[in-house]
Amino acid sequence: MKKTLLAAVSSIAVLAALPAWADCEADLRDYNEKISASDEQRAGMSARMRSDIRQLRDSARLLQQAGQEGACQEVVAAIKEMVENPKQASTGSPDYESWNTEEKERLKSAQSLGQLSGRMRAEEIIGSDVRNPENNDLGEIDDILLATAEGETSYAIISRGGFLGLGEKQIAVPLHTLKVTGDKDVFVLNVTEPQLENAPSFERGKFGDVADDAWRKKNNAYYEKLE
């Protein structure tokens, strides 16, 4: 699927005109707020569809960095088309109440990572949705930090910023606090949205805080109080 998306983006880059990037960025952020505010709209999206939309989001960022502003606009238009017409992009579009009830049951039966049989690849983890047992969207996993020293903590780096993950805030969640659904589709963190919002955080991509012993102790203590 990634190769297909990249090929489509390459074709768009060749054909697109070049309006101002500021318009594309604003359009993407506005749409991020709209999707994030609509539980009913997100209920019609399969996990595969959400993953595809976020891949398109990443493609839009790459096109912007390459100066292909018009191509970015085309990708944003493709995202809107997928969201507005979920039945064409994925099979099955349950009503929100039914979907929400089923999701809560699925999330509450999630297992800790230590209980899983087999293995998980990094690409299966990065980009995954993170929710709490009440099916509130907490963000997505942007990266994994694996501890190499004995006794140190490994972390899942979660980005906060709406459905499209456009925020600049990142949170280092101890990996052992996460659970995962049976299909390994969604990771579950047993915190409320305000609790995660108040957790120690750092600016996107700047891992200096996580490398600091004092910050890690403060961060780990925060999650220990929530367990």
At residue 151, φ and ψ (nearest 5 deg) are: 90, -5
Label residue 18 by pLDDT band (50, 70, 90): very low
pLDDT of residue 187: 95
Give me the domains of the chain, ranges plus CATH numbers.
Answer: 2-89 (no CATH), 105-226 (2.30.30.240)
pLDDT tier for residue 162 given thresholds of 50, 70 and 90: low
The span from the first CA to the last CA of the chain, in angstroms, equals 38
Q: Is the pLDDT of residue 155 over 70?
A: yes
Reported as a single tens digit per residue, the pLDDT across 94-134 is 566 787 888 899 999 999 988 887 788 888 898 888 999 99
More confident site: 136 or 179: 179
Average pLDDT over the chain, rounded to whole?
80
| Each residue's pLDDT tens digit, 77-94 | 888 888 777 665 554 555
Q: Does residue 59 have a pLDDT over 50? A: yes
| CA–CA separation, 86 and 43 (whole Å) | 10
Is the pLDDT at 166 greater than 70, yes or no?
A: no
Q: Compute the distance between CA of residue 120 and CA of residue 201 in angstroms, rounded to an integer.
A: 26
CA distances from 54 to 39, 140, 225 (A): 17, 10, 32
Q: What proportion of the chain, given as a percentage, has pLDDT over 70?
A: 77
pLDDT at 19: 41
Bridging pattern class, strands 129-131 and 186-188: parallel
| pLDDT of 182 higher than 50 | yes
